[in-house]
Structure 1
Amino acid sequence: MKKPRTPPSLSTIQVEPDRMLVILEAAERFDQEYPYLHWDALVYKEMPPGITPQEIWFGLKILRKGRRKEVPLSDSSQVPFCFSLTDSMVPALHEIDLKKGKGGNLLYPKEFLVDSLMNEAITSSQLEGASTSRKVADDMLRTGRLPRDRDEQMIFNNYHTMEKILSLKGHPLDKGIILELQKLITEGTLDDSSGAGRLRREKERVVVEDRITHEELHVPPPANELADRLQALCDFANGKTPSYFLHPVIRAIIVHFWLSYDHPFVDGNGRTARALFYWTLLQNGYDYFEYFSISEILLGAPAKYAKAFLYTETDENDLTYFLLHQLEVIERSSQKFTESIETRGRELEEFEKSHPLLNDLNFRQIELLRYTAKHPETPFTIQSHKNTHLIAYDTARQDLLELERKGLLRRRKRGNAFIFFRPR
């Protein structure tokens, strides 16, 4: 994508003192109509009569500077990053907190968690270039078969990284954990396998560039700063800094940005950053985020994701652009999950009504039969049923054998394992 225009410096904008109040009032009205625009987008909007884009920008910057807060992240020139808590952020954060108070993950069966972990693993990999189809990836993860190529390996790694994130709840973040996560994410996918589980070195020049034009979009900090910057990130993620209260969701989003900005590895930076976003939220009690996939939303509009980073960098390290974008992503991800739960519930209810003989079956068995009705050619194994519902192998085996005894599934040998399928 094209790098956005760099906003004009306030020192280059001439404003007559007797016009200051008029400009500030116009900027406030403009901001209400077009909330928190970057200069790159502002120049395309219709200006108030008698006021130039530069004057509106001057007024907006004055208003923003009055409420911004610095965070303990600086660029390579030691200029700190900052953010403003905008009017739209407050209700968005309130909605997120309301979901936290309702119990979150206690409301949903385990297989919804598996679906979410798989969805995040697949879409996060696709966001970084993996071309494996959803069906093939889903089959690999459910059956537990090993990856066949690099793209499948990326998805396989991401899934097990998300499982690792769940196991890390309650553990403070440290450099060793971050290195371990990056190693999990990149294992078997690097041209040079020595790049897994370590920081990039000075001779390893890493830049973020446009995939088509190769224009440099971001040059991360030098390698000799990375160890200290990673420790500062851990302190921030663990809540040791800053000295003022920072909402946990804002903190998680900044952690996401921070790791991506520093780009401390030769590969796997984006996937590691998104994994740390989830860790930060789960660490702060937002367990229901286990069921959301932000990468699914990001994959649908990758240019907006990239632009949120670039807007921040090109406008005096203002993180507000990235925060607003990510809060919108969270809202859309939450809505998508709610819609999928409602759809699945309706489908299950309709399936049970049309099959009254299923009353003595458990939820896992009914869900499997509902799936086979929609995908009659898909076989199942004890391992895939186990992985789908996070249950013991013997429990999965008993589920499938009971369905076979009732004539609802058939069984045959394939290699060393039995497969179960819908009777024709």
Structure 2
Amino acid sequence: MKIPVSPPPPEKLYDILQSGDIEKITLLFSQAIGPCDSKGRYLHWDKLRHLTPPAGYNPELYWLAMRNAREKISKALPFKDTGKAAFRFCIPDLVMRDILWISENSTGAIEADSKITDPRNKQTYLINSLIEEAINSSQLEGASTSLQVAKDMLRSGRKPQNHSEKMILNNYNAMNFIREYREESLTTSMIFELHRIVTEGTLAEEDRDKAGAFRGRDDDIRVYSHGDKLLHTPPPHNELAKRMQRLCDFANRDNTNDAHFIPPVIKAIIIHFMIGYDHPFVDGNGRTARALFYWIMAREGYWLMEYISISRVIKQAPAQYMYAYLHTETDNNDVTYFIIHQLEVIKKAITDLHHYLADKALEYREAERLLEKSRLSGVLNHRQLGLLKNGLDNPGREYTIKSHQNSHGVSYQTARTDLLSLADEYRLLRKYKIGKKDVFSAPANMIDLIKQA
């Protein structure tokens, strides 16, 4: 990964003004040049310098005119970098468009979400999403187990067997912690507890006492690329307490009636960014930052956000995630780059959720069609139908009462009744014991058993 080329310094603009070149000055302040290019993109100089500028402009003059347009709509944030310069952001048209799209698709009651709002299915989908985010957020930070193995661990309730599985379990517990405390004001103590949860048992031996605590004077924290190139040096340890309190104040402030209103989704993204920038902990900063994003979004009423995984989307293109940070740092602390990246991530995660819901609805219908002509028609509940479809797709898959209970958020007795009826009454699952535990497996001829039932 290469560090983006920094834009021409602001002094270049003053040089043009002092030159008295009327033609250049007119182009510099032209109303035709806005914060984005002709395709609506909020580009960094690192890319813009290679593109053909509008007539009359060279790349540098085009950049300075675009930067001037951005400055006009820019707002300062209450956070500063290590050089004491303020972070800032703006809301060009493409950001406003995405904010409105996300608001409409994650706070309102739209048709595709009826599958979630159905109380029979809500808990099942929520648990699936918590598992997805826990796994992908951990894999983004280096966990190396497969998705299926991780899902089986969380659903069966078995203890993690290695460092990667421990990270995933911790993330799952952190997401549940957020759900429990989402109505509360954010405090440093809560962030510490969140960090303690995501790092429990996963820190290096010499750092075990730093779970839920700021990094110290002797912690040489630097962010490097995979090629060992220094990308970022966070603020010193003795500034962290003040910076964290400022972050909490920012999160808790109700600025609905302020002249400089910040939309909730933008606020959540900025908090995500600042945790990544400050790197207040020896490890687990990324997981803590993404968890706090969910916290703020849930508290602000974006209820659908509980059901999406931003880490899964970020994991598909991790370099873009890092460049969103680097573009900000190399362009006068303009957090707009990170905001735009995260809005795209959220939009894709929401879109993916709707595709997932449609696929699941189709799976249930397929299972129901198989049962239409059997004596089980209209008898099995949605949990049992879902398990049968899973078994049809995965012959030999094993289920336990505990895994079924964890997958659907039901009581032990409800899960036991579901499985026993499928095995003993309807003969669709094979039942056997391992020690004292009942295990249920999907036979290879399940489709024939359904037809015969």
Indicate whether 1:106 and 2:122 are aligned.
no
Report the alpha carbon displacement of residue 109 of structure 1 after superposing the two structures with TM.
2.4
Counterpart Cα distance in 1 of 2:182 and 2:414:
27
SS of residue paired to 2:76: strand
- Stretch moving more, 16-25 or 367-376: 16-25
Counterpart Cα distance in 2 of 1:360 and 1:239:
51
Indicate whether 1:228 and 2:242 are aligned.
yes
Query: Which residue number in structure 2 is paired with residue 156 of structure 1?
Result: 169
1:279–1:78 distance in 2 versus 1, CA, 3 Å: same
Counterpart Cα distance in 1 of 2:284 and 2:76:
28
Report if aligned partners of 1:248, 1:281 keep a CA contact under 8 Å in 2: yes
Report if aligned partners of 2:313, 2:349 keep a CA contact under 8 Å in 1: yes
Pick the aligned partner of 2:24 from 14, 19, 25.
Answer: 19
SS of residue paired to 2:38: helix
Counterpart Cα distance in 2 of 1:186 and 1:30:
40
Gaps of 5+ in 2: 445-453
AA matched with 1:169: R
SS of residue paired to 1:32: coil
Counterpart Cα distance in 1 of 2:427 and 2:398:
15
Q: How does 1:23-422 map to 2 (within 5 A)?
A: 23=28, 24-25=30-31, 27-28=33-34, 31-99=37-105, 100-102=107-109, 106-107=117-118, 109-191=122-204, 192-212=207-227, 214-239=228-253, 243=258, 244-356=260-372, 357-404=376-423, 405-422=425-442
SS of residue paired to 1:137: helix
Report the alpha carbon displacement of residue 169 of structure 1 after superposing the two structures with TM.
1.7
TM-score, normalised with respect to structure 2: 0.90
Instruction: Report the aligned-residue RMSD.
Output: 1.7
Report if aligned partners of 1:26, 1:56 keep a CA contact under 8 Å in 2: no
Query: Which residue number in structure 1 is paired with residue 449 of structure 2?
Result: none
Report if aligned partners of 2:88, 2:335 keep a CA contact under 8 Å in 1: yes
Report the alpha carbon displacement of residue 51 of structure 1 after superposing the two structures with TM.
1.8
Report the alpha carbon displacement of residue 204 of structure 1 after superposing the two structures with TM.
0.7
Counterpart Cα distance in 1 of 2:277 and 2:231:
11
- Stretch moving more, 105-114 or 349-358: 105-114
SS of residue paired to 2:217: coil
Q: Deviation per CA, 1:89-131, whole angstroms, max 9, x where unpaired?
A: 2221112222302176525521111111111111111111111
Report if aligned partners of 2:185, 2:252 keep a CA contact under 8 Å in 1: yes
The percent identity for this pair of structures is: 42
Q: Deviation per CA, 1:211-253, whole angstroms, max 9, x where unpaired?
A: 22x1111111100000011111111111257953211101100
Report if aligned partners of 2:166, 2:201 keep a CA contact under 8 Å in 1: yes
Report the alpha carbon displacement of residue 403 of structure 1 after superposing the two structures with TM.
1.1
Report if aligned partners of 1:207, 1:218 keep a CA contact under 8 Å in 2: yes
1:111–1:30 distance in 2 versus 1, CA, 3 Å: closer
Counterpart Cα distance in 2 of 1:314 and 1:22:
25
Counterpart Cα distance in 2 of 1:173 and 1:17:
52
Query: Which residue number in structure 1 is paired with residue 450 of structure 2?
Result: none
AA matched with 2:266: I
Counterpart Cα distance in 1 of 2:23 and 2:442:
80
AA matched with 1:71: L
AA matched with 1:83: F
AA matched with 2:37: D
Counterpart Cα distance in 2 of 1:416 and 1:7:
67
SS of residue paired to 2:88: strand
